[in-house]
């Protein structure tokens, strides 16, 4: 790998001591100089491959702090119902997809959104039996918290009239006949997922390689992945073969907390290519499925306060156990009460001085806050790990179910002002993996093409958004001294952009092209 010299650039370093530079040089995987053209040229051109940037913008490599990357890879090969606004269209897309399947094969996909398609009651097993009678079918809702399945799937999972709801889950049943309707919620979904045949390791690896290329083309150099052992095994295989073109910080699922502790794994274990972040826990469900845990009921449904996926007591015990073992937690919490209980669970061990203060706990999503909980993030040093595309994309449904409470929904600026650390991610495949779309959503609080901002007081600056995708994310993986800014001694992870996103009209951010992605000094994407 030849050493590289970038000259005539418009470099935003994200290093407060030298925020802007013209040139950067790297040796092997690290940055060795940042500064003016003349300073960098003094290193001697002949030892370097010289790239003239002609004024193009350079920023540190972007890090997606919340992705389900293997699911994203699988989604490339599954039926995609996203954005479809009529139920008839949903059925015909499934039907035409099914012509590619072998008889008896599982039909798998998702992306349907009951909030745009109509009431949940239209998603019945009978309708799905008509479209795919040959084999089992399961279709995940856009937010991944509901499953719509057919009769063959229910049979394969052994779900019938008398089957009890699993803890933290619900099997929807007909009020008269008690027959399962074909809708499963929250933890009930895993009864079915366990039965779905997984693609072979070879197929999964190919899909992952395709996904890595997509990620690099978006300017991503690292992700935080929240998945299970299958993903971790595949990442190790890719790394072994030199094919892992993203740095991965991996979060262990809640059911593996005890095994992680038994093995002696602690947060930060690994290296800059593949590292363990901690354990992912769940406090509640989602807004899309109205299962996020609420202090006050959902608007228009006075009995629905959401689902407590893990009880307050159990959540506190899990955080305490993890903290004692040197493991940070990332707690999925969406409703105001879900977030409140997650903060309580984190506060307990801190008050008793359990766990080293090196732990970097986080709350995933934090979509709705009670005013009195905002300051607790900063005080307890809890990272708010949020996904900005959710804000404009959820706004209609948030207003429908949370009404006036939306003032503190997706409240990124309020969190930053209160002293909270904040990181950005995508939640792919639920939303696009493209971080420029995330930056746009955080800065504009509107969908691409829309003119009106949703709660504009919660807009963040471009610098704050990039900070969340770089330095903020690197802090969350214990790597703030290793990456996240263009600084001497740090890894040479950089992105070259077609335009200066700090200067253009923010509405044009999604039109920006990634021209080149550099990972550890190596080009992993060139347009």
- Which residues make up the interface to Zn ion (CB under 5 A)? 427
Structural tokens at position 230: 């299958």
Min CB(311)–Zn ion separation in Å: 21
SS (H, E, C) 261-305: HHHCCCCCCECCCEEEEEEEEECECCCCCCCCCCCCCCCCCCCCC
Q: How far apart are CA 404 and CA 304, in angstroms?
A: 17
Provide the token pair at 453. Answer: 């901002």
Closest CB to Zn ion among 113 and 427?
A: 427
Measure the CA–CA gap between 37 and 398, rounded to whole angstroms: 49
What minimum distance in Å lies between the beta carbon of 69 and Zn ion?
A: 11
Q: Tokens for 254?
A: 């809640």
Nearer to Zn ion, 145 or 405 (CB): 145
Cα 284 from chain centre: 16
Q: Least Å distance between CB 20 and Zn ion?
A: 35
Nearer to Zn ion among residue 267 and residue 286 (C-beta):
286
Is the CB of 241 or the CB of 255 nearer to Zn ion? 255
Of the pair 308, 427, the CB lying nearest Zn ion is at 427
Beta carbons of 422 and 416 less than 8 angstroms apart = yes
CA distance 304 to 295: 10
Nearer to Zn ion, 427 or 515 (CB): 427
Identify the CA nearest to 168 among candidates 66, 296, 303, 315. Answer: 315
d(CA 497, CA 514): 5
State which residue has the least CB distance to Zn ion. 427
Residue closer to Zn ion by CB (options 221, 333) is 333
Q: What angle do CA 266, 269, 272 make, to 5 degrees?
A: 155
DSSP code for 194: T
Does residue 249 contact residue 222 with C-beta atoms inside 8 Å? yes
User: Residue 356, Cα to own-chain centre: how many angstroms?
Assistant: 27
Question: Nearer to Zn ion by C-beta: 383 or 501?
Answer: 383
Quote the tokens at residue 521: 């000094």
Dist. CA 195–CA 213, nearest whole Å: 30
């Amino acid at each position: 790998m030849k050493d590289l010299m970038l000259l005539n650039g418009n470099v935003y370093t994200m290093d407060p001591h030298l925020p802007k530079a013209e040139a950067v040089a790297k040796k092997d995987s690290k940055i060795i100089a940042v500064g003016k053209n003349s300073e960098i040229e003094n290193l001697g051109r002949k030892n370097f491959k010289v790239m003239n940037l002609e004024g193009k913008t350079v920023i540190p490599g972007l890090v997606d702090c919340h992705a389900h990357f293997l699911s994203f890879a699988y989604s490339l090969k599954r039926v995609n119902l996203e954005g479809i606004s009529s139920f008839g269209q949903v059925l015909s897309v499934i039907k035409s997809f099914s012509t590619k399947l072998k008889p008896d094969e599982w039909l798998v996909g998702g992306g349907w959104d009951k909030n745009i398609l109509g009431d949940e009651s239209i998603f019945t097993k009978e309708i799905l039996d008509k479209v795919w009678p040959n084999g089992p079918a399961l279709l995940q809702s856009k937010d991944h918290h509901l499953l719509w399945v057919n009769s063959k799937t229910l049979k394969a999972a052994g779900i019938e009239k008398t089957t009890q709801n699993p803890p933290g889950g619900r099997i929807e049943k007909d009020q008269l006949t008690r027959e399962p309707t074909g809708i499963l919620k929250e933890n009930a979904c895993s009864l079915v997922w366990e039965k779905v045949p997984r693609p072979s390791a070879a197929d999964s690896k190919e899909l992952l390689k395709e996904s890595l290329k997509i990620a690099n083309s978006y300017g991503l150099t690292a992700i935080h992945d929240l998945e299970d052992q299958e993903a971790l095994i595949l990442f190790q295989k890719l790394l072994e073969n030199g094919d892992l073109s993203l740095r991965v910080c991996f979060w262990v699922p809640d059911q593996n907390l005890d095994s992680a502790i038994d093995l002696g794994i602690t947060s930060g274990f690994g290296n800059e290519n593949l590292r363990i972040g901690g354990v992912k826990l769940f406090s509640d469900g989602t807004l899309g499925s109205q299962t996020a845990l609420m202090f006050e009921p959902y608007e228009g449904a006075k009995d629905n306060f959401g689902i407590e996926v893990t009880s307050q007591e159990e959540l506190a015990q899990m955080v305490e156990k993890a903290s004692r073992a040197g493991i940070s937690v990332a707690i999925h919490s969406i409703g105001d009460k879900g977030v409140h209980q997650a903060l309580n669970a984190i506060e307990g061990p801190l008050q008793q001085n359990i766990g080293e203060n090196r732990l970097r706990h986080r709350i995933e999503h934090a979509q709705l806050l009670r005013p009195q909980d905002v300051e607790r993030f900063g005080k307890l040093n809890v990272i708010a790990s949020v996904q900005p595309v959710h804000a404009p994309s959820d706004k209609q449904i948030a207003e429908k179910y949370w009404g006036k409470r939306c003032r503190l929904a997706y409240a990124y600026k309020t969190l930053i002002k209160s002293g909270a650390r904040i990181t950005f991610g995508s939640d792919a495949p639920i939303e696009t993996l493209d971080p420029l779309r995330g930056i746009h959503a955080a800065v504009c609080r509107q969908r691409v093409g829309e003119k009106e901002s949703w709660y504009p007081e919660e807009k963040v600056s471009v610098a704050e958004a990039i900070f969340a995708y770089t330095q903020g994310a690197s802090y969350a993986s214990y790597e703030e001294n290793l990456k996240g800014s263009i600084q001497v001694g740090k890894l040479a992870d950089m992105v070259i952009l077609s335009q200066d996103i700090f200067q253009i009209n923010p509405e044009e951010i999604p039109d920006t092209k990634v021209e080149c992605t550099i990972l550890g000094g190596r080009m992993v994407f060139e347009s």
